[in-house]
Amino acid sequence: MNKLCQSCNSENIETIFSDGCMNYFCKDCNAYNGSAHNYISTGLKFRFGKYKGNLIELCTDANYLKWMLEGSKVDKGYKIAMINRLNQLK
């Protein structure tokens, strides 16, 4: 993830989905680093692999998302969710 903590410049940012918002917290210093309001969850989860059972929209592993898009046959909805997540990580 390209986002840096505003307090300590750490790249160790955690995304927490709560009450329709994506909230960002630093795992190193616990500082709040903003949110994305009016976020609508797709609810789509990885069905297999390293992140099986995890929500696609919370994935911070851009390389994994790219690998999934290039190498596996996934439904159109899943592809859209992964592309959207990749765009958010840029």
Q: Which residue has the tokens 């290039």?
A: 70
Tell me how far apart the alpha carbons of residues 85 and 12 are, in angstroms, rounded to a whole number: 18
Angle between helices 62-71 and 76-89 (to 10 degrees): 150
DSSP, residue by residue, 21-77: EEEEEETTT--EEEEETT------B--SSTTTTSBGGG---HHHHHHHHHHS---HH
Q: Which residue has the tokens 């949110």?
A: 35
Q: Does the predicted TM-score (pTM) go above 0.75? A: no
What pLDDT tens digit does each residue of the chain (90 aa) get? 457 888 999 988 888 776 566 778 889 998 888 877 555 567 889 988 899 999 998 899 999 999 999 887 888 888 888 988 888 887
